[in-house]
Amino acid sequence: MPIILGLDPGLACTGWGVIRADGNRLSHIANGQIKTDAKMPLPSRLLQLDLELKDILIGYTPDAVAVEEVFVNKNPQSTLKLGQARGVVLLGASRGGVPVAEYATRLVKKAVVGVGNAEKQQVQAMLAILLPGVKLAGHDAADALAVAITHAHLGGR
C-alpha cells in the first residue's frame, strides 16, 4: 500500500497532502501548507520551504511524490518566484531517492473530477467523496491532495 505525497508548489504557500493507495481505495493521512513570509529575503524563504518539506518527507516517508506542474502567470516576476519554489520542491523531493512525477493542472482536474476545466470547488467536493472526513488545511493543500490522487490513479501508466 504505497504512500503518496502530493505537492502544489508556491513561494507564498506550498500545499502538501499525503494519501495511502490500496488499489482503487484511497485513504487520507495528512495535509497542510508551508507558508513563507513575503517580508523575508528570497533565499530565506526558499530555505524555509526546503527545511519544512524535508520534515514532511522524513515524517511520512512516501513511496512516491507527485508535483503539480507550473502554469504561467501574467506577471513575469511571479512566474520566476513560482519557478524557484518549484525547483526547491523538485530538488527536495528527489533528494531522498523517491520517484517524482509531474502532472499538469488540467490532467489533475480531469483525473479527480472528470473534466479538465473543473473549478476549485468541484475538486474540493470530489476530495470529500474520495477521502471521507478529510479536513482541508486550505486551497493549496486541497490541490496537493488532488495531485496525489492523480498519481494514485495514473502513476503506473
Indicate which residues carry an active-site annotation: 8, 68, 140
Question: In the structure grid, which three cell numbers stand for residue 102, read together?
Answer: 509531474
55 in a labelled binding site: no
Whether 12 contacts 149, CB under 8 Å:
no
119 in a labelled binding site: no
Strands 13-22 and 3-8, how do they pair? antiparallel
50 in a labelled binding site: no
* Angle (nearest 5°) at CA 83 between 87 and 111: 85
* Angle (nearest 5°) at CA 41 between 36 and 42: 70
Question: In the structure grid, which three cell numbers stand for residue 97, read together?
Answer: 531517492
Residue ranges at the known binding site: 8, 68, 140
Tell me the binding residues for Mg(2+): 8, 68, 140
